[in-house]
Structure 1
Protein backbone atom coordinates (compact mmCIF):
# COMPACT_ATOMS: atom_id res chain seq x y z
CA UNK A 1 0.00 0.00 0.00
CA UNK A 2 1.28 3.43 -0.88
CA UNK A 3 1.81 5.81 2.03
CA UNK A 4 -0.08 9.10 1.98
CA UNK A 5 3.19 10.90 1.22
CA UNK A 6 3.44 8.86 -2.00
CA UNK A 7 -0.06 9.64 -3.30
CA UNK A 8 -1.35 12.52 -5.38
CA UNK A 9 -4.46 13.74 -3.59
CA UNK A 10 -5.59 17.02 -5.16
CA UNK A 11 -7.27 17.65 -8.48
CA UNK A 12 -4.84 20.44 -9.30
CA UNK A 13 -1.89 18.08 -8.92
CA UNK A 14 -3.58 15.54 -11.20
CA UNK A 15 -4.26 18.24 -13.81
CA UNK A 16 -0.69 19.50 -13.66
CA UNK A 17 0.80 16.07 -14.24
CA UNK A 18 -1.60 15.12 -17.04
CA UNK A 19 -1.36 18.46 -18.85
CA UNK A 20 2.35 19.20 -18.44
CA UNK A 21 3.87 15.76 -17.91
CA UNK A 22 5.45 13.42 -20.43
CA UNK A 23 3.16 10.66 -21.69
CA UNK A 24 4.07 6.99 -22.11
CA UNK A 25 1.49 4.66 -23.66
CA UNK A 26 1.30 0.91 -23.12
CA UNK A 27 -1.46 -1.49 -24.23
CA UNK A 28 -3.26 -1.35 -20.85
CA UNK A 29 -2.67 2.15 -19.51
CA UNK A 30 -1.21 5.59 -20.15
CA UNK A 31 1.45 6.89 -17.78
CA UNK A 32 2.02 10.62 -17.28
CA UNK A 33 5.29 11.60 -15.59
CA UNK A 34 6.24 15.06 -14.40
CA UNK A 35 9.35 16.04 -12.48
CA UNK A 36 9.23 19.05 -10.18
CA UNK A 37 12.34 19.19 -7.98
CA UNK A 38 11.36 22.49 -6.32
CA UNK A 39 7.99 21.14 -5.21
CA UNK A 40 9.67 17.98 -3.97
CA UNK A 41 12.08 19.97 -1.85
CA UNK A 42 9.21 21.87 -0.25
CA UNK A 43 7.21 18.66 0.32
CA UNK A 44 10.22 16.75 1.56
CA UNK A 45 8.99 13.43 0.19
CA UNK A 46 9.76 11.04 -2.61
CA UNK A 47 7.78 10.19 -5.72
CA UNK A 48 3.98 10.42 -5.77
CA UNK A 49 1.48 8.30 -7.70
CA UNK A 50 -2.10 8.94 -8.77
CA UNK A 51 -4.61 6.72 -10.56
CA UNK A 52 -7.44 7.43 -12.99
CA UNK A 53 -9.78 4.52 -13.62
CA UNK A 54 -12.84 5.60 -15.63
CA UNK A 55 -16.16 3.82 -16.07
CA UNK A 56 -15.01 2.54 -19.44
CA UNK A 57 -12.88 0.01 -17.55
CA UNK A 58 -15.97 -1.64 -16.06
CA UNK A 59 -18.27 -1.58 -13.08
CA UNK A 60 -17.26 -0.36 -9.63
CA UNK A 61 -15.88 -3.73 -8.59
CA UNK A 62 -13.67 -4.01 -11.66
CA UNK A 63 -12.49 -0.41 -11.38
CA UNK A 64 -11.54 -0.83 -7.71
CA UNK A 65 -9.74 -4.09 -8.48
CA UNK A 66 -7.74 -2.40 -11.27
CA UNK A 67 -6.92 0.55 -8.99
CA UNK A 68 -5.73 -1.76 -6.19
CA UNK A 69 -3.56 -3.75 -8.60
CA UNK A 70 -2.02 -0.57 -10.03
CA UNK A 71 -1.35 0.71 -6.51
CA UNK A 72 0.38 -2.54 -5.58
CA UNK A 73 2.50 -2.48 -8.74
CA UNK A 74 3.42 1.16 -8.08
CA UNK A 75 4.46 0.31 -4.54
CA UNK A 76 6.86 -2.31 -5.91
CA UNK A 77 8.32 0.25 -8.36
CA UNK A 78 8.61 3.10 -5.85
CA UNK A 79 12.38 2.70 -5.54
CA UNK A 80 12.82 3.08 -9.33
CA UNK A 81 11.35 6.59 -9.38
CA UNK A 82 13.37 9.65 -8.44
CA UNK A 83 12.15 11.80 -5.53
CA UNK A 84 10.15 14.76 -6.78
CA UNK A 85 8.55 12.88 -9.67
CA UNK A 86 4.77 12.71 -9.95
CA UNK A 87 3.25 9.79 -11.86
CA UNK A 88 -0.39 9.51 -12.94
CA UNK A 89 -1.59 6.21 -14.40
CA UNK A 90 -4.77 6.28 -16.49
CA UNK A 91 -6.20 2.78 -16.98
CA UNK A 92 -7.49 1.82 -20.42
CA UNK A 93 -10.55 -0.47 -20.87
CA UNK A 94 -8.47 -3.64 -21.42
CA UNK A 95 -6.67 -3.12 -18.11
CA UNK A 96 -9.28 -5.13 -16.21
CA UNK A 97 -8.41 -8.32 -18.12
CA UNK A 98 -4.62 -7.95 -17.94
CA UNK A 99 -2.59 -10.32 -15.79
CA UNK A 100 -0.64 -9.11 -12.76
CA UNK A 101 2.69 -9.80 -14.47
CA UNK A 102 1.62 -7.81 -17.54
CA UNK A 103 0.62 -4.78 -15.47
CA UNK A 104 3.85 -4.91 -13.50
CA UNK A 105 6.06 -5.25 -16.56
CA UNK A 106 4.26 -2.45 -18.45
CA UNK A 107 4.60 -0.12 -15.47
CA UNK A 108 8.29 -0.97 -15.13
CA UNK A 109 8.75 -0.29 -18.86
CA UNK A 110 6.98 3.09 -18.60
CA UNK A 111 9.02 4.18 -15.60
CA UNK A 112 12.27 3.06 -17.23
CA UNK A 113 11.43 4.96 -20.41
CA UNK A 114 10.57 8.08 -18.40
CA UNK A 115 13.84 7.88 -16.46
CA UNK A 116 15.82 7.42 -19.68
CA UNK A 117 14.09 10.34 -21.41
CA UNK A 118 14.66 12.69 -18.48
CA UNK A 119 18.34 11.70 -18.33
CA UNK A 120 18.82 12.32 -22.04
CA UNK A 121 17.10 15.72 -21.78
CA UNK A 122 19.43 16.71 -18.93
CA UNK A 123 22.45 15.70 -21.01
CA UNK A 124 21.23 17.73 -24.02
CA UNK A 125 20.61 20.86 -21.93
CA UNK A 126 24.04 20.69 -20.25
CA UNK A 127 25.94 20.31 -23.56
Structure 2
Protein backbone atom coordinates (compact mmCIF):
# COMPACT_ATOMS: atom_id res chain seq x y z
CA UNK A 1 0.00 0.00 0.00
CA UNK A 2 1.16 3.53 -0.68
CA UNK A 3 2.04 5.67 2.32
CA UNK A 4 -0.72 8.12 3.20
CA UNK A 5 1.20 11.28 2.14
CA UNK A 6 1.57 9.74 -1.33
CA UNK A 7 -2.15 9.13 -1.93
CA UNK A 8 -4.74 11.37 -3.57
CA UNK A 9 -7.83 10.93 -1.41
CA UNK A 10 -10.12 13.94 -1.86
CA UNK A 11 -12.59 14.17 -4.74
CA UNK A 12 -11.64 17.82 -5.32
CA UNK A 13 -8.01 16.78 -5.84
CA UNK A 14 -9.04 14.06 -8.30
CA UNK A 15 -11.10 16.61 -10.28
CA UNK A 16 -8.29 19.18 -10.29
CA UNK A 17 -5.71 16.67 -11.51
CA UNK A 18 -7.95 15.24 -14.25
CA UNK A 19 -9.06 18.66 -15.52
CA UNK A 20 -5.73 20.47 -15.38
CA UNK A 21 -3.30 17.60 -15.88
CA UNK A 22 -1.42 16.45 -18.94
CA UNK A 23 -2.93 13.25 -20.33
CA UNK A 24 -0.78 10.24 -21.17
CA UNK A 25 -2.55 7.25 -22.76
CA UNK A 26 -1.56 3.63 -23.01
CA UNK A 27 -3.61 0.50 -23.77
CA UNK A 28 -4.11 -0.38 -20.11
CA UNK A 29 -4.24 3.01 -18.37
CA UNK A 30 -4.71 6.73 -18.85
CA UNK A 31 -2.50 8.90 -16.66
CA UNK A 32 -3.40 12.47 -15.77
CA UNK A 33 -0.27 14.25 -14.53
CA UNK A 34 0.07 17.73 -13.03
CA UNK A 35 2.63 19.51 -10.88
CA UNK A 36 2.24 18.67 -7.21
CA UNK A 37 0.94 21.22 -4.73
CA UNK A 38 2.67 19.34 -1.91
CA UNK A 39 6.33 18.45 -1.46
CA UNK A 40 5.77 14.78 -2.34
CA UNK A 41 4.35 12.96 -5.33
CA UNK A 42 0.79 11.73 -4.89
CA UNK A 43 -1.07 9.04 -6.82
CA UNK A 44 -4.77 8.20 -7.12
CA UNK A 45 -6.35 5.23 -8.88
CA UNK A 46 -9.69 5.04 -10.67
CA UNK A 47 -10.96 1.62 -11.76
CA UNK A 48 -14.45 1.56 -13.27
CA UNK A 49 -16.90 -1.33 -13.39
CA UNK A 50 -15.99 -1.85 -17.07
CA UNK A 51 -12.74 -3.41 -15.87
CA UNK A 52 -14.48 -6.27 -14.07
CA UNK A 53 -16.19 -7.27 -10.88
CA UNK A 54 -15.08 -6.04 -7.45
CA UNK A 55 -12.43 -8.71 -7.03
CA UNK A 56 -10.82 -7.86 -10.38
CA UNK A 57 -11.04 -4.09 -9.79
CA UNK A 58 -9.37 -4.37 -6.38
CA UNK A 59 -6.66 -6.64 -7.81
CA UNK A 60 -5.93 -4.09 -10.56
CA UNK A 61 -5.82 -1.27 -8.01
CA UNK A 62 -3.48 -3.20 -5.72
CA UNK A 63 -1.12 -4.16 -8.57
CA UNK A 64 -0.92 -0.60 -9.86
CA UNK A 65 -0.42 0.78 -6.37
CA UNK A 66 2.37 -1.70 -5.67
CA UNK A 67 4.06 -0.90 -8.97
CA UNK A 68 3.96 2.81 -8.16
CA UNK A 69 5.32 2.17 -4.66
CA UNK A 70 8.25 0.15 -5.98
CA UNK A 71 9.19 2.12 -9.08
CA UNK A 72 7.78 5.64 -9.12
CA UNK A 73 7.85 7.14 -5.65
CA UNK A 74 11.42 8.43 -5.86
CA UNK A 75 10.57 10.89 -8.67
CA UNK A 76 12.92 13.88 -9.00
CA UNK A 77 10.16 16.47 -9.06
CA UNK A 78 6.87 15.99 -7.20
CA UNK A 79 3.81 15.35 -9.37
CA UNK A 80 0.16 14.53 -8.76
CA UNK A 81 -1.05 11.60 -10.86
CA UNK A 82 -4.46 10.03 -11.36
CA UNK A 83 -4.29 6.61 -13.00
CA UNK A 84 -7.49 5.53 -14.74
CA UNK A 85 -7.41 1.79 -15.52
CA UNK A 86 -8.77 0.57 -18.85
CA UNK A 87 -10.48 -2.83 -19.27
CA UNK A 88 -7.24 -4.36 -20.61
CA UNK A 89 -5.67 -3.78 -17.18
CA UNK A 90 -7.58 -6.78 -15.83
CA UNK A 91 -5.37 -9.20 -17.78
CA UNK A 92 -2.15 -7.17 -17.91
CA UNK A 93 1.11 -8.72 -16.79
CA UNK A 94 3.98 -6.91 -15.06
CA UNK A 95 5.74 -6.01 -18.31
CA UNK A 96 2.62 -4.40 -19.73
CA UNK A 97 2.06 -2.56 -16.47
CA UNK A 98 5.60 -1.20 -16.58
CA UNK A 99 5.05 -0.05 -20.17
CA UNK A 100 1.95 1.88 -19.08
CA UNK A 101 3.99 3.86 -16.55
CA UNK A 102 7.00 4.27 -18.86
CA UNK A 103 6.29 7.96 -19.70
CA UNK A 104 6.53 8.84 -16.00
CA UNK A 105 9.70 6.78 -15.62
CA UNK A 106 11.26 8.67 -18.55
CA UNK A 107 10.33 12.05 -17.09
CA UNK A 108 12.64 11.57 -14.10
Q: Same fold (TM over 0.5)?
A: yes
Q: 5+ residue gaps in structure 2?
A: none
Larger radius of gyration: 1
Structure 1 residue aligned with 2:52, among 47, 58, 71? Answer: 58
Task: Identify, as 1 or 2, the structure richer in helix.
Answer: 1
Task: Identify, as 1 or 2, the structure richer in strand.
Answer: 2
**Equivalent residue number for residue 110 of structure 1:** 103
Q: Name the Cα RMSD after superposition.
A: 1.5
Q: 5+ residue gaps in structure 1?
A: 117-127
Deviations 1:12-46 (A, max 9, x none): 0000000100000011000000104xx32xxxx41
Deviations 1:37-68 (A, max 9, x none): xx32xxxx410000000000000000000000
State how far apart, in whole Å, the 2-side matches of 1:47 and 1:56 are: 28
Extract structure 1 runs of 4+ deviating beyond 6 A.
Answer: none
Kept in 1, the 8 Å contact 2:64–2:97? The answer is yes
Q: Residues 89 and 81 of structure 1: is their aligned pair in 2 closer, same or farther, counting only changes over 3 Å?
A: farther
**Equivalent residue number for residue 10 of structure 1:** 10
**Equivalent residue number for residue 89 of structure 2:** 95
TM-score w.r.t. the length of structure 1 is: 0.78
TM-score w.r.t. the length of structure 2 is: 0.91
